[in-house]
Each structure stands twice: as C-alpha cells, then as structure tokens.
C-alpha cells in the first residue's frame, strides 16, 4: 500500500502544510513525520483514504475517505469531509491535475 501526504500552501504565505484528519474534519497542520492522520492512500480507483487512527462512523480500522457530499460549510467555501469509504460513491472520486487535487460533488 503506497502512503503519501497531501501538501498545501496556505493563502497569503508560502508556508506549506499537510492535510490532517481530526475526526471527520480535514484541517491544514504543520507537516509532521509519523503522523498517521496526515497519511493517505488510494482506494477504489479514485478514492483517497486517510490512514489516521480516529474512527469515522462505519470505517473499519479508522480513517475514512475524502467525501464532498455533506460539506461542513455551505456555498463557495464548502470543504470536503471524511466519510465511510464506499466502492461506488461518486462524491468520493478525487482527480489530480499537475498542480491541484480536485474533488467532484455530484447533485443527487
């Protein structure tokens, strides 16, 4: 299983930060070695599963997948959450460009 970190750059600064899971919320935190909550792996093709120890409802072994279905804020600044990984869930499909990670939210 290939593990990796998702690194972002905060607006207004050139400081890099890692995406870290805290429960089902994703936050930018200082990158720290051996922090499982900052580790991800690919699952079911285009899904990204967090390898952190915090359990997400229905996610055996902790972790959960990045999901765009029920963001914790609405509107323009909506943010993805972690949710139980599902083999068929288009809200968990993540796509990469050369410089960005894109998640797609499909209408119900």
| Sequence-ordered list of residues with C-beta below 8 angstroms from that of 7, at least 6 positions apart, any chain | 16, 17, 18, 19, 31
Q: What is the pTM of this model?
A: 0.74
CB 70 within 8 A of CB 81: yes
pLDDT of residue 84: 86
| Sequence-ordered list of residues with C-beta below 8 angstroms from that of 64, at least 6 positions apart, any chain | 21, 24, 49, 50, 56, 82, 83, 84, 85
Q: What's the pLDDT band for 87 if we cut at 50, 70, 90?
A: confident
pLDDT at 108 over 50: no
Please report the DSSP string for 96-108 in residue order.
E-SS-EEE-----
pLDDT at 49 over 50: yes
Query: What ranges do the domains of the chain cover?
Result: 7-103
CB 37 within 8 A of CB 55: no
pLDDT of residue 75: 54
């Amino acid at each position: 299983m290939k593990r990796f970190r998702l690194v972002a750059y905060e607006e207004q600064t050139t400081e890099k930060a890692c995406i870290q899971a805290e429960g089902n919320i994703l936050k930018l935190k200082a990158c720290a070695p051996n922090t499982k909550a900052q580790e991800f792996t690919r699952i079911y093709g285009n899904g990204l599963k967090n390898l952190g120890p915090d359990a997400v409802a229905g996610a055996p072994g902790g972790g959960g997948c990045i999901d765009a279905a029920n963001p914790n804020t609405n509107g323009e600044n909506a943010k993805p959450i972690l949710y139980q990984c599902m083999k068929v869930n288009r809200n968990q499909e993540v796509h990469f460009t050369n410089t960005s990670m894109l998640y797609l939210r499909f209408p119900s």
